[in-house]
Structure 1
Amino acid sequence: MPRQPRSTRPARPPLAARGAPHRVVCLAFPQVMSLDVTGPLQVFATANDLRRSHGLAPRYQLELAGPEAGVVATSAGIGLVATRAWRDVKGGARCTLLVPGGDGIDAALQGGELLAQLRRLAPRAGRVGSVCSGALALGQAGLLDGVLATTHWSRAEQLRQCAPRASVETDRLHTFDAAHPVRSRRFTSAGVTAGIDLALALVEADCGRPLALAVARQLVMFMRRPGGQAQFSPLLAPGPVHAPRLARLLEWIPGQIGAPLTVDRLAEQACLPPRTLARAFRQELGTTPGRYVEQVRLEAASALLGQRQASVATVARLCGFGHPDTLRRSFQRHLAISPRAFSERFGDG
């Protein structure tokens, strides 16, 4: 008899796709940002809905905890109902703790109870993460030592001060890496909607990329942004109130992207010494002059490629990248996609 071909062993599904549901516990506090809570939780809820539509059991059990059980007031003026108090939350390997941000985070940290509960729960939880200024809680609790971290750009300096042993980067949306979920057991995300991108990355790690993309489509998201993408549009840069020393320079840069924009040239335009300019960028925008200029050029290049009226080489020249390879490297680094693929996927027509 001919030998039967050896069967190929099927790939094992992601860990969270097997066994009991994975608990996602959000630790809310008074004056929390409502979208920091509801945005990520809705991603997990939609993943459950899509699984149910295919006859599968939900993968996530969602919980909202507050200082006490009951209504937690948000900064939007609406209330969210916490089903339990922080002290009653239990950890576990199949548990993800999320700390949202918002105007109330400073008062919550001064009270001390949130930090105490984080220190109690973190060793018992499979994953611990934050949205926006919630990273300050993780930092003060000592949970970001030796960890890559980010937060809303306006809170970057505060995070560096409260978590001096963390590697704080503001040119990214979140720090969770779906390719290395075990190494990413402590993670943070930038402001507001970046929490949605973070939640999608968690769903991808837990349940696979197809489900994460299906959730993004269901929520009508423009694209599932990678964690390393920059936080904000340079062409919508903070105005004079938030960046008083840089306001005129930020208005001038977009019209000069085709020209060489060295730090010395920027400093001359801003009437500041180069070191003072660099310090102002870090304090007021959470980035460096060079990275900021690259983001302006990248956004201009994205707009031109989206119109499909110029080649990659022409866009690279017009936007100050010079060579097409430089443009490609910038796209891959910040958007995880090539300029040509970007044009084909997101271009008009």
Structure 2
Amino acid sequence: MDAPRTIACLLYPHVMSLDLTGPLQVFASANDERQRQGLPAAYRLLVLGQQAGPMPTSAGFQLVVEQAWSAIEPAYIDTLLIPGGQGDKAQCQNIELLAWLRSAAPQIRRLGSVCSGALILAAAGLLNGRRATTHWADLDCLRQEHPQIEISGDCLHTYDPQDPCGNGHIFTSAGVTAGIDLALALVEADLGRPLALAVAKRLVLFLRRPGGQAQFSALLTPEPSRVPRLASLLEWIPLHLHADLSLAALATQANMTPRTLSRIFNQELGMGPGRYVEIVRLEAARNLLQNAQASISTVARLSGFNHPENLRRTFHKHLGISPQEYAERFA
């Protein structure tokens, strides 16, 4: 690497401060590690905004915009990251910013988002036809408002420098700290795995975190009032997790034919009865593990999985980690 690469991050009113400072610290720490090895800095960090000066974050304190994005030559930027935060909706309506992003994208080597910053890239039309993720709480919004995007809800980021479909050029990351995971992946692509691992060790981080963001999200079931045809059944299921909750048993409880029940579930919940039961049982198991109320085998029995192996398979399927790892992380 010759001259330092410019890593720029967008700053706007009420941004999530960690979305911006977390990734930038990773790049700064990469510079520190190179200095320890007697090597020059690899990165030049830059904070861009609508205009230079202090800007309030969602945490209440201010960060400083060093330069207006309209005054910089996009080709000067190696990597641009768009953070999320409470102010993202206003930026999705910022016509000047969206136009600048569209014109700058072909000139910037890498353009990515952190957390709900994906909504800003989507508003600029830069994620159409691409695979993308965002904070789990914003996935439905991204899916509904931008159906042209292929949503990957459980990955921590979509950056892949070897992907021929362009995920090494434009990419996204999930909620908040996933921006740090993304930055580590960018450093690894630039400077190699040993240096990225050194940065991760220095910051006490996983170089590659186990599991996806689903382990942090709430698999919340809908309010019965929103699904009137299923209200009674949805109230009954959590109280009978240990019972036979097969399609036939659920249909009998709901006084419907299995075919009718499956059709209504898919219409109102977007999933079949079997998947819904699995999610409710998983949520019950998560609550038991978080509260450290029982052993893995007891949790499996109380949540209706009956055997620890069934519980383990379901955890890996939905969360990417084992029940034991989940308990160690969240209990």
TM range (shorter): 0.7 to 0.9
**TM-score for the superposition, normalised by structure 2:** 0.73
Is 1:53 paired with 2:67?
Answer: no
Q: Matches of 1:128 and 1:48 in 2, distance apart?
A: 21
Q: 1:105 to 1:206 in 2, by over 3 A?
A: same
- Conserved? CA contact 2:214–2:318, under 8 Å: no
Q: Which moved more, 1:154-163 or 1:126-135?
A: 154-163
Is 1:127 paired with 2:146?
Answer: no
Deviation at 1:316, TM superposition (A): 8.8
Deviation at 1:230, TM superposition (A): 2.6
Match 2:122 to one of 133, 139, 143:
139
Q: Matches of 1:46 and 1:280 in 2, distance apart?
A: 48
Deviation at 1:132, TM superposition (A): 1.2
- Conserved? CA contact 2:132–2:151, under 8 Å: yes
Q: Matches of 1:265 and 1:174 in 2, distance apart?
A: 40
Q: Percent identity?
A: 47
Match 2:205 to one of 202, 221, 238:
221
Which residue does the alignment assign to 1:154?
Answer: 137
Match 1:75 to one of 53, 58, 64:
58
- Conserved? CA contact 2:184–2:207, under 8 Å: no
Which residue does the alignment assign to 2:183?
Answer: 199
Q: Matches of 2:48 and 2:27 in 1, distance apart?
A: 16
Which residue does the alignment assign to 2:147?
Answer: 164
Q: Matches of 2:23 and 2:45 in 1, distance apart?
A: 10
Deviation at 1:60, TM superposition (A): 1.6
Deviation at 1:94, TM superposition (A): 6.2
**TM-score for the superposition, normalised by structure 1:** 0.70
Q: 1:31 to 1:279 in 2, by over 3 A?
A: farther
Q: Which runs of 5+ in 2 are unaligned?
A: 255-259
Corresponding pairs, count: 313
Deviation at 1:198, TM superposition (A): 1.4
Which residue does the alignment assign to 2:257?
Answer: none
Q: Matches of 1:125 and 1:175 in 2, distance apart?
A: 17
Deviation at 1:173, TM superposition (A): 1.9
Match 1:84 to one of 67, 82, 85:
67
1:175 partner amino acid:
T
- Conserved? CA contact 1:216–1:224, under 8 Å: no
Q: Which runs of 5+ in 1 are unaligned?
A: 1-17, 304-308
Which residue does the alignment assign to 1:306?
Answer: none
Q: 1:217 to 1:167 in 2, by over 3 A?
A: same
Alignment RMSD: 4.5
Which residue does the alignment assign to 1:12?
Answer: none
1:132 partner amino acid:
C
- Conserved? CA contact 1:91–1:124, under 8 Å: yes
Is 1:98 paired with 2:84?
Answer: no
Deviation at 1:146, TM superposition (A): 1.4
3-state SS of paired residue (2:109): strand
